[in-house]
Structure 1
Amino acid sequence: MIVLRSLIFNIAFYVVLMLFLIFGLPLTLASRITAIRALQAWGRTMNWLLRVICNIKVEVRGAGNIPPGPLLVAGKHQSTWETFALPVLFNDPCVVLKKQIFYIPLMGWPYGYKFRMLPVDRGAGSKALKDLIRRGKEELAAGRQIIILPEGTRRPVGAPPDYKSGTAALYTNLNVPCVTFGLNAGVFWPRHGFLRPPGTIVIEFGKTIPPGLTRKVFEAQLQDTIETISNRLVAEASKS
């Protein structure tokens, strides 16, 4: 039954995605915030399909830890789930994405540009960080929430952490709070796995790291908070 449900969901996921990309093209003529609301509607639809088809529920913990207004959001990346579920949780999300995604027809172009997401060229070194900081300041000035996944790519459950420098660079230059989160999504949506076993995806927002800390102190707090929450949630899911 899990195999059949997983197959149906995976087909539905890509069908709904293509329908959104094709029939959402008129949104490129609407305001950016209208387009963002449509993006969030797609994310809610995906969560609904997960629940109805695979019996995978979603639980959000610690939402009260998220302050209003512009901020930096950083957390664990285990699954494709984060790519559509995180924007649902914020008013005006701005996600840091690898630059190559912006070259994908009907995905990065035109939508990545319409949503004003933040591209980062991982091979451009210091120039990429400077461009990321410059654009980050512009989006924060518009009152947005910048979402970054510090490891840059999906990490399998249980893999050792591999945090990149981009999050610390943003934190030390943008002077805004950083909200942390951990999750267990990789248990139910593995990085390269086909099966979607039933259960509850939990995302938990931890403490908000205030601006003004040194880079070294920030990086230590960031990794410790994210990994502690994620490891606990994965352990909970494994017991259920």
Structure 2
Amino acid sequence: MITLLRSTLFSLIFYPGSLLLVLVALIVGQFSPPALRWVSTLWGWFHRYCARWLLGQKVVIEGDLPLGPYLYIVKHESMFETIDMLCVFDRPVIAAKRELFDIPLWGTIADRYGLIPIERTAGASAMRTLRTQAKAANAAGRAVCIFPEGTRVPHGEAPPLRAGFAGLYTLLGLPVVPIALNSGLVSPKGSFLKKAGVITYKVGEVVPAGLDRREAEARVHAAINALNPPSALMD
């Protein structure tokens, strides 16, 4: 019952508040890209505080998170981390499914903010676009974040990385910072109910640039699933 009440209160406060911030971002984004990014960051922290004080979800980061010209690869279990990246990093550029840019209002802001759309069926042309935008983001001092599984997966599952990761790793020539998390334990995919608990980001060892693609992929896959039950990597 407490979980239901908390989840309901979260929905009643977070989503109307988000709509207000989306409208503000649409207005300021026409005149000032920095102001739009500031509002976007505010939205991320609004979400973080709603999760903390309404849902009882605390965020913990294990390990040192290096900042600089890296490619950040993040486990994807919940909607939580898609928004919380705005708190973890400064003005991050996130590669997102192209379909998300078709969402009314939000898609316009995502485009102006500088998110990178991924067209899964576009092949080599999509990779070239992704490389160009990712390099531009790095040059501007913005973190580039990828969810390599392509969609949210239940906690405990460890699907193979999508082929795009290896291609992007080779094209960008950047070291990789893999990040595991367990958000699916408290905010599972497709569930209205969000539980109280601790959401942990576990920063893995940096994977250097220039490795064999299979070795890089294996290292990243193991690192982003480090918070899964030990049996998950053996499935």
SS in 1 for 2:81: helix
Q: Per-residue deviation at 1:70?
A: 2.3
Letter matched to residue 206 of structure 1: G
Name the structure 1 match of 2:20: 19
Q: Per-residue deviation at 1:230?
A: 4.1
- Distance in 2 of aligned mates of 1:145 and 1:80: 19
Q: Are the aligned partners of 1:2 and 1:197 in contact in 2 as well (CA < 8 Å)?
A: yes
Letter matched to residue 53 of structure 2: V
- Distance in 2 of aligned mates of 1:24 and 1:42: 10
Q: Are the aligned partners of 1:75 and 1:149 in contact in 2 as well (CA < 8 Å)?
A: yes
Structure 1: gaps (5+ residues):
235-240
Name the structure 1 match of 2:186: 188
- Distance in 2 of aligned mates of 1:59 and 1:38: 24
Name the structure 2 match of 1:238: none
Question: Alpha-carbon deviations, 1:62-121, whole Å to 9, x = none?
Answer: 2x231x322210021000001110121112310001111112221011x11211111110
Distance verdict in 2 for CA 1:2–1:88, change over 3 Å = same
Please say if 1:117 is aligned against 2:118.
no
Name the structure 1 match of 2:144: 146
Name the structure 2 match of 1:65: 65
Structure 2: gaps (5+ residues):
none
Please say if 1:44 is aligned against 2:42.
no
TM-score calculated relative to the size of structure 1? 0.89
Q: Per-residue deviation at 1:126?
A: 2.6
TM-score calculated relative to the size of structure 2? 0.91
SS in 2 for 1:229: coil
- Distance in 1 of aligned mates of 2:215 and 2:7: 42
- Distance in 1 of aligned mates of 2:102 and 2:194: 29
Question: Alpha-carbon deviations, 1:27-81, whole Å to 9, x = none?
Answer: 213443332232121111111111211211111222x231x32221002100000
- Distance in 2 of aligned mates of 1:144 and 1:160: 28
Deviates more, 1:123-132 or 1:80-89: 123-132
Q: Per-residue deviation at 1:9?
A: 0.9
Letter matched to residue 13 of structure 2: A
Question: Alpha-carbon deviations, 1:162-191, whole Å to 9, x = none?
Answer: 310222222111122211100110011000
For residues 1-240 of structure 1, the aligned pairs below 5 Å read: 1-62=2-63, 64-66=64-66, 68-109=67-108, 111-231=109-229
